[in-house]
Structure 1
Amino acid sequence: ITMAKGDQCKKGLLELLKEGPVVGDGSMCMTLEKRGYCRAGPWTPEAVLLYPDAVKQLLREYMRAGADVLQTPCFYCSDGMFKKGSKSGEPISYTTDAINEAACRIAHEISKEGKDVLVCGGLSPVLSYFREKNMEKARAEFDSQLDVFIKYKVDFVLAEFFAYIEELEICIDVMKRSKMPIACTMRIGPLGDSNGVSVEECAVRMARTGADLIGINCLYDFDTCLKTLKRMRDALDKEGLKTHLICQPLGWRCPEVEHTLIGYLDLPETPLGSLEPRQVTRFEVHAFARAAYDLGVRYIGGCCGMEPHHIRAIAQELAPERKRNPPVEDMCPPLGYLQLSGLSNIKKKDNKQYWIEQKPGSGRPFSPALSSTEG
C-alpha cells in the first residue's frame, strides 16, 4: 500500500477526539442485502470480492454524509463463519485473508476521495471461542485478522459485536501488537454480557484493557443504548476511568427486546424485510446524537439499519461541536431550503421543533405497536 499525497499529515483518531466528536459510518451487510449484494442470515462479507463497486458506492455515500471513519467492510470475516454460512457440502471459496485484503483496498480507495477520512480495521468474534472456548485458537484467529490490517496500514482497529467480555479481553490483548489506537464495542443491553457479567463490570474491564474507545454496538435501539451507556459512564466515573465512549446503535425501534440477550434478533420479523416499519427517522437520529453526546459519547455512528441519511443527521446535529458541516453543503442546514419550495404547506415546516416533535405513522391501518406472528 502506498500512501496518497497528504496522508502523512492526516489527523489520527486520538487527535480528532481531542478536537470534538467523531462520526462513524453505518450499516454495511444489512444495507447490501437490501440492495441485492449480500445473503440474509449469514451476513458474511464476500460482496467485497463479488460486487466491489456496490461496496465502494455505499462507503462513498457514508463519507459524503459526513462520516469521519470508513470501516473495512469485512464484518464476521472468519473462516469458521464462512463454513457455518455455506450450504451443506458446498465448498468454501472465500478466505479471511482474501476478504480482509479486499476490504482494506476498497476502504483506502474511497477514503482518499475525502479529507482526513480514517480507515478502521474491524475485528470480529470467532467461533473457536464461542463453541470451543479454546483461548489459544481464538488468539490465533484474532492474530490472523489483525495481520491484514497491519499490512494495509489502517488508521486504527476496532473489535466489535462481542457478546463476552472475556473474549473481548483476549482480542484487545492481541490488538495491542498493532501499535495503533484501539476501539472496542460489545453487543450488550441492560442484562450485560452473555455470561451474565453486568454492564458496569463490562465497562470497567473494557477500560482497563487500555483501549482508547469503549462502548456498544448493534442489537438494541436508541433508548436502550442510552440507558446502557449511562450505566457504563457512571461505572467508569465511579472508578475514575476517563476512557472515551463509542456507540453505534440500530436504526430501528425495538423496545420489546430490551431485556433479551440477543436484541432485535429475537424479533419474529428478523431478518427478511419486515423491519422497515420500525425504521428511525432522521430527526430521531438528531435527538439520539444530541443525547449521546450529552452523556459523554464522543464517537457516534451506526450499525444495522443506519443508512447514509441517518449518518448525515449525526453529522448535522454535531456540526457545532465538530466546527464543520457534512460535505453535502447544499443540504445544510437541513431545514433552510424548505423555504424554497413552491408549496406553502412545506414552507411552514421550516423549523426544527416541528420535526423533532413529530410522531410519524406507519401508514398501516390498525398497525400494532409491537410485533407478533399472529394474524
Structure 2
Amino acid sequence: MPKKGILERLRDGVVIGDGGFVFALEKRGYVKAGPWTPEAACEHPEAVKQLHREFLRAGSDVMQAFTFYASDDKLENRGHYAQKSLTGKSINKAASKLARDVANEGDALVAGGMCQTPTYLSGIGKEATQKMFQVQLDAFIEEDVDFLICEYFEHVEEAEWAIEVCKKSGKPVAGTMCIGPEGDLHGVTAGECAVRLAKAGADIVGVNCHFDPQISLECISKMKEGLDAAGLKPYLMAQPLAYHTPDCNKQGFIDLPEFPFALEPRICTRWDMHKYARDAYNLGVRYIGGCCGFEAYHVRAIAEELAEERGAKPAGSDKHGMWGQELKMHTKPWVRARANKEYWETTKPATGRPYSASMAKPAGWGITQGNEELKQHAEGTTSDELQHVRDIASSKK
C-alpha cells in the first residue's frame, strides 16, 4: 500500500515532525557553527542517517532532509565554501536519499527543505533569489520527495518567493517563518505573514526556530486570527526551539549572548514538551515538531503526549515509562517516590549554575535586509571587519 501523503495525514489527525539537525550535529562534531551548512550529508552520511533513525524511533512521521542552508550562495558565503566538489544540488540530493532510506524503515514521509539566502539579505533581487531556490527544488524533484518545506524566513517577502518556486512542482508546500508574535523583521504582523504565505500557495503555514514553544504558539495564535479573518484554512505547523527564550527580542535567540555555545541552561525538559504538544494540539496545530535543540527524547515526549490521538506510542517508548514509571524499579526509595505524573508536572528544575543570571540582555542590533551591514560576500572576514563588528557590539551593551 502506498503511504498516505502529508495533506491526507493532516486531514485525518496529527503529524509529528522531527527535531534539530544543525545543532545536534555540531555538538557531535559534524557541522561547523557559523556557516551551519549541511555538507555532512555528503561527508558523514552515517551520522546524518543515524540522527534520522533516532527521530523515527522517537515517533517522527517526517524525515526532513538535512538541507538547511544548502544553497550555493550560502556554501560560498564568507569564505566557508564546503569543498569544491560539493554544490547545493549535490548536497540536496544526497540528503534526500538519506532521508528516504530511513523513512522507508517506517511509515514516514520525506520533506525537502529550503530557507533564507544570502542573496536575499544582500538585496540582489527576486530573480536571483528564486534561481537559488530553483536549483534546490530541481534536486528535490529528481529525488521525488513527498512534500516541500520553505522554512526559516525572517522576511515574508522571501518566503513568498520560495513558495512560488516550490508550487511549480505540484507537490504540497509548507511555509514557516522564524518570527515571534511581533511579526517579521520588515514590520509585517504575524497575522499578515500567515495570510501572505497562504495566498502564495502554502498548504501548511506556521513558524519554526528562533523562539521557544510557548512564544511560538503565541505567534501561531496571531497567525490563526489573521487567517480566520481572511477566510483562509491552511493547516498549522509549529517547529520551535527546545530552549526557553522569555528574554528574546524580535530577532529571537540569535541575539542572546549565550548563542550558540552556552544555551544548555535553557534546554526544555521532556515534560515541557508534553505541555507544548498539548497546547499546540488544543490551538489547532496539526503538524507538531521541533527545530534547534530538539533531540529525540523531546520528539518522543510529543508522541507520548498525543498517543491517544494517534492510536499508538512510538517505538522509543519501549524503554521509557510515561511520567517516570520506570523509576519504580530504582534502588533508592526517594527516587521511586518520583514515579508519578504530579511530581514531574509540578517540579521546577534548578539550573545548578550559581553564577548564572536568570535573564540575558539580547544584542538588539535592530538591523535587517536592506542594511549595509548585512551585505554578504564570499571572502573570509578580515581583521578590520571583525574589529568593526566588535566595536558595534560593544556600543550596544
State if a TM-score over 0.5 links the two structures: yes
Question: What is the identity, as a one-letter code, of the residue corresponding to 2:345?
Answer: I
For residues 185 and 84 of structure 2, the distance between their equivalents in structure 1, rounded to whole angstroms, comes to 29
1:97 is matched with 89
User: How big is the shift at 1:341?
Assistant: 2.7
User: How big is the shift at 1:333?
Assistant: 3.2
Alpha carbons of structure 1 residues 157 and 94: separation in structure 2 relative to 1, 3 Å = same
Instruction: Give the TM-score normalised by the residue count of structure 2.
Output: 0.87
The answer to whether the Cα contact below 8 Å between 2:18 and 2:62 also exists between their aligned partners in 1 is: yes
2:219 is matched with 228
For residues 354 and 73 of structure 2, the distance between their equivalents in structure 1, rounded to whole angstroms, comes to 44
User: How big is the shift at 1:26?
Assistant: 0.3
Q: Does 1:73 align with 2:73?
A: no
For residues 113 and 340 of structure 2, the distance between their equivalents in structure 1, rounded to whole angstroms, comes to 39
2:255 to 266, 270, 275: 266
For residues 79 and 302 of structure 2, the distance between their equivalents in structure 1, rounded to whole angstroms, comes to 37
Question: What is the identity, as a one-letter code, of the residue corresponding to 1:28?
Answer: F
User: How big is the shift at 1:142?
Assistant: 1.2
After alignment, is 79-88 or 304-313 more displaced? Answer: 79-88
Structure 1 vs Structure 2 CA RMSD = 1.8
2:57 is matched with 64
After alignment, is 236-245 or 57-66 more displaced? Answer: 236-245
2:346 is matched with 357
For residues 281 and 17 of structure 1, the distance between their equivalents in structure 2, rounded to whole angstroms, comes to 27
Q: Which runs of 4+ in 1 moved over 4 A?
A: 90-93
For residues 18 and 50 of structure 1, the distance between their equivalents in structure 2, rounded to whole angstroms, comes to 38
Deviations 1:234-253 (A, max 9, x none): 12122222211101001111
Question: What is the identity, as a one-letter code, of the residue corresponding to 2:147?
Answer: F
For residues 16 and 354 of structure 1, the distance between their equivalents in structure 2, rounded to whole angstroms, comes to 34
User: How big is the shift at 1:278?
Assistant: 0.7
The answer to whether the Cα contact below 8 Å between 1:19 and 1:322 also exists between their aligned partners in 2 is: no
2:17 is matched with 24
Unaligned stretches of 5+ residues in structure 2: 363-393
For residues 353 and 232 of structure 1, the distance between their equivalents in structure 2, rounded to whole angstroms, comes to 33
User: How big is the shift at 1:349?
Assistant: 1.6
The DSSP-based 3-state class of the residue aligned with 1:150 is helix
Q: Does 1:248 align with 2:233?
A: no
For residues 210 and 134 of structure 1, the distance between their equivalents in structure 2, rounded to whole angstroms, comes to 21
After alignment, is 174-183 or 203-212 more displaced? Answer: 203-212
1:294 to 255, 277, 282: 282
Alpha carbons of structure 1 residues 56 and 279: separation in structure 2 relative to 1, 3 Å = same
2:201 is matched with 210
For residues 120 and 312 of structure 1, the distance between their equivalents in structure 2, rounded to whole angstroms, comes to 20
For residues 302 and 83 of structure 2, the distance between their equivalents in structure 1, rounded to whole angstroms, comes to 42
Q: Does 1:321 align with 2:309?
A: yes
Question: What is the identity, as a one-letter code, of the residue corresponding to 1:274?
Answer: A
The answer to whether the Cα contact below 8 Å between 1:86 and 1:92 also exists between their aligned partners in 2 is: no
1:44 to 37, 43, 46: 37
Identity among equivalent positions (%) equals 46
User: How big is the shift at 1:320?
Assistant: 1.1
Question: What is the identity, as a one-letter code, of the residue corresponding to 2:188?
Answer: V
The answer to whether the Cα contact below 8 Å between 1:325 and 1:332 also exists between their aligned partners in 2 is: no
The answer to whether the Cα contact below 8 Å between 1:287 and 1:356 also exists between their aligned partners in 2 is: no
Instruction: Give the TM-score normalised by the residue count of structure 1.
Output: 0.92
After alignment, is 60-69 or 344-353 more displaced? Answer: 344-353
2:358 to 355, 365, 369: 369
For residues 100 and 72 of structure 1, the distance between their equivalents in structure 2, rounded to whole angstroms, comes to 8
Q: Does 1:341 align with 2:330?
A: yes
Question: What is the identity, as a one-letter code, of the residue corresponding to 2:118?
Answer: L
1:179 is matched with 170
For residues 83 and 111 of structure 2, the distance between their equivalents in structure 1, rounded to whole angstroms, comes to 30
For residues 182 and 170 of structure 1, the distance between their equivalents in structure 2, rounded to whole angstroms, comes to 13
Deviations 1:49-107 (A, max 9, x none): 1111111111110001100001000101111111114359x964421011011101111
2:367 is matched with none
User: How big is the shift at 1:343?
Assistant: 2.7
What does residue range 273-284 of structure 1 map to in structure 2 within 5 Å?
273-284=261-272
For residues 42 and 291 of structure 2, the distance between their equivalents in structure 1, rounded to whole angstroms, comes to 22
The answer to whether the Cα contact below 8 Å between 1:66 and 1:315 also exists between their aligned partners in 2 is: yes
Deviations 1:316-367 (A, max 9, x none): 1111111111112422534332223333222222222211221101112243
Unaligned stretches of 5+ residues in structure 1: 1-5
